[in-house]
Amino acid sequence: MTMEKIHTDKAPAAIGPYSQAIVHAGVLYTSGQIAINPETSEVEAKDIEGQTHQICRNLGEVLKQAGTSFENVIKTTCFLADMGDFAKFNEVYGQYFTSKPARSCVAVKALPKGVLAEVEVIAKV
C-alpha cells in the first residue's frame, strides 16, 4: 500500500524531518500541531485559549487538504505544558471536536517553541 504525504501552506511547515500528515489505507495521521500562525511563522497567542484556537485552525487546514474534516476525527492526542490549563483547553477544543472523538490528554515537561499545547489527530479520509 502507498502512503500519501499531506502538505498545505495554510498550516505551519514542519520544523523538523517529518510531514504535516500522512494518509495510509484511508486513514489520516497528523503530526502534532502547535500554535504557530502559518502566515507569520510565529507563536502569537500567549494564553491557552488563543493557542488552542490556532492549533485547531492549523489542524482544520491539514484535515481539509487531506479531504476530510473534524467530523471524521477518530482519535486525538493532546499534550499540555500545564494541567492547570485543562479546563480552558477543553472549552476551546470542544468547539472544534464536536463529534467527541476518543482522546488522550497528558501533561508534558515542555513543548516546542515554549507553547502551552500540542494536538495530533487520526481521522478517516
- Express each pLDDT in 12-44 by its tens digit: 988 789 999 999 999 999 999 999 999 999 999
Indicate which residues carry an active-site annotation. Answer: 105
Domain-wise residue ranges, the chain: 3-124
Q: Count, in order, helices (H) and strands (E) of the chain.
A: 2, 8
pLDDT at 111: 96
CATH 3.30.1330.40 fits 3-124, yes or no: yes
Place of cell 492526542: 77
The answer to whether the beta carbons of residues 65 and 7 sit under 8 Å apart is yes
Closest CA to 118 of 66, 76, 71, 62: 76
Q: In Å, what is the CA distance from 72 to each residue of 27, 28, 69, 81, 93?
A: 10, 10, 6, 27, 15
Residues of the chain with pLDDT > 70, as a percent, come to 99
pTM (2 d.p.): 0.95
Place of cell 476525527: 73
pLDDT at 15: 78
Spell out the alpha helix ranges (H) of 15-69. 48-65
pLDDT at 16: 85
Residues of the chain with pLDDT > 90, as a percent, come to 95
The whole-number average pLDDT for the span 48-55 is 98
pLDDT at 14: 84
